[in-house]
Structures are given as structure tokens and as C-alpha cells.
Amino acid sequence: MASLKEIRARIVSVASTQKITSAMKMVSAAKLKKTEGITTRFLPYKNKLSEALSNYLGSLEGEVNIPLAEKREVKKVALMAFSSSSGLCGVYNSNVCKLFKQVYDEYTENLGAENVVVYLVGKKINDYAKKFGIKVEKQYAPLAESMSFELAMEISDMMVELFLSHKVDRVELVFNHFKNAGVQVPTREVVLPLKAEISGNAQTFDYIVEPDKETFVNELIPKVIRTNFYSIMLDTLTAEHGARMTAMHIASDNADQLSQELRIQYNKARQNVITNELIDIVGGAEALNG
């Protein structure tokens, strides 16, 4: 059995760790609330913009030339994946890294590694890519440090340019979707070519646009793509904060349980020490009386 001094040192160490995990849990909870608030305020705008595009496309007669929705044979792919740049968030990073590797292997098997252009956001997934010798075209700073609509515009406009110039035929994102604070779902989503869904009841709308319908549609679509990128970035950042808050909550509970077990162990050891001392005293007294 460990000595009383060793057990006391472990109790102090566990208590110190519990303070850290509890503080990190509160910080992550505050960040989660903030990003959830931003997402809640942004989603109605994103949904309304997509709805406007869908309604307008449904109200048109005849075909409209939409370059960003052009479906062509996939010969080259741009693959972008998101992770955090710090740990202590459970399986958040490992899950998205596994899905990224799965998607990457799927494309390289069909197209060859030279036809898969990789863009990464976050240090953890960049380290993972280096581990497997995956060539990275560009790495972006973690979302937690640089999250802004300007970043979403920069990335989406770059992807749009790659698609329009026929340098890539598909753009796919790999990220963690936020379901709730305890559940993050590794997700893959094709953002280009755009799925221009047409509303079924859109014929009731009568739109008047200037200068012409194709110009209007092709001006609106890049804005829809930007909002889609920003929405996904908010989603994965919210998932990160939720995962870290949950992980720190579990760690704090485990530390509390371990602390209780150590105190029981300490009391038992202390009781043994007192019992042994009493035995020695009684034994010495009997020896003197004898």
C-alpha cells in the first residue's frame, strides 16, 4: 500500500487537475453559447437566401446557364477538411481525421493522388496529413483563432475560381456536424457543383430582375455559396466547443470520483498506521509489565 505522503500528493494533484478541467469546461460552455448564438442569428439569412434562389429558379421557363451548377466528369477534386488546433476535446479530431483519410483514399484510388488537391484548416488534421505523407496545397489558421465571414468569403471565392476555371471538377468538405453538446457527427458534403434545388410551388411567384435572368442568378449563386461555407464553418466550430465542454465535464467528474477513492484509501492507510502504533504501544507496555 502507498504511504500517506504519496496518497496526499495524489489527492492534491487530482484536485489541481479538477480545477483546470472545470475552468476549461466553463470557458468552452461560454464559447459554445456564443457560437450557437451566431449560428441561430445567421441561419435564417442563409435559409432565406437559398429559398429565394430556389423559388426564382422554379419560376423560370426554359433552361438557365448556371456555370457553378455544371455537372461534369470528375477528373480532379478539391478536398477541404476542418479540425481544431488543440486537443482535450474527446474524439472530435480523431473522428474527422479518419473520415478525411477515408475520403482522400477513395478519391486517390479512383483519380490518383496528383488529382486530389487538399486544403486543411486546423493544426491537428495537418499533423495527421503529414503522418501519412499527404501533400497539402494550403493550410489555414484554426477557426477558433480566425473565424470571420471574410475568411469564408476568401475560401469560397477561391473554390469558385478553381471550379469555374476547370482546375477542379468537384469541391468537397469534411467536417464535424454539431448535433448537440455531446454528439458531433463526422460529415462530408459536396459544395460544388452547387445543387440548385427548385421549389415545387415557385410558379406562383412573378419575379422581375435586371439586367437579365442569367446575370441575376449567377450574381446570387456566389452569395449562396459564401453563406454555405460560413454556415459549415460555424457548424464545425460549434461542434468543437461542444466536444471540449463535454470532454472537460467528463474529466471533472472522473477527477471527483478519483479524489473520493483516494480519500477513502488515505483514511484506510491512516487507520492502519494508528492501529499499528497502538499495537506497538500495547505490546511495549505488556513487555514492561512482564
Q: Check which CATH number belongs to the domain holding 213 and give it.
A: 3.40.1380.10
- In DSSP notation, 58-113 reads HH--S----GGG-------EEEEEE--SS--STTHHHHHHHHHHHHHHHHHHHH-G
Phi, psi of 186 (to 5 degrees): -60, 125
Amino acid at 259: S
Do 92 and 128 have their domain in common? yes
Place of cell 478553381: 162
Is cis: bond before 67, omega within 30 of 0?
Answer: no
pLDDT of amino acid 76: 94
Is there a domain that residue 170 lies in? yes
Do 236 and 258 have their domain in common? no
pLDDT of amino acid 56: 77
Do 62 and 16 have their domain in common? no
Range of the domain at 103: 31-246
Bridge pairing between strands 170-180 and 183-192: antiparallel
> Based on the structure, what is the number of domains in the chain?
2
Place of cell 429559398: 51
* DSSP code, position 203: G
Q: For 181-268, where are the E strands, in sequence order? A: 183-192
pLDDT of amino acid 262: 87
- pLDDT tens for 140-173 read 876 665 667 888 888 899 999 999 999 999 999 9
Do 38 and 94 have their domain in common? yes
Mean pLDDT of 29-56: 86
Do 270 and 142 have their domain in common? no
Do 83 and 61 have their domain in common? yes
| Mean pLDDT value across the chain | 85
Do 61 and 141 have their domain in common? yes
Is there a domain that residue 290 lies in? no
Rounded percentage of the chain residues whose pLDDT exceeds 70: 89
Do 20 and 49 have their domain in common? no
Q: Which three cell numbers stand for residue 34?
A: 456564443
Do 22 and 35 have their domain in common? no
Q: Which of 100-109, 219-228, 276-285 has the lowest mean pLDDT?
A: 276-285
Q: Confidence class of residue 77 from pLDDT cuts 50, 70 and 90?
A: very high
Do 87 and 217 have their domain in common? yes
- pLDDT tens for 80-137 read 999 988 888 888 999 999 999 999 999 999 999 899 999 999 889 999 999 999 999 9
pLDDT of amino acid 194: 84
Spatial contact of 237 and 144, defined as CB atoms under 8 Å apart = yes
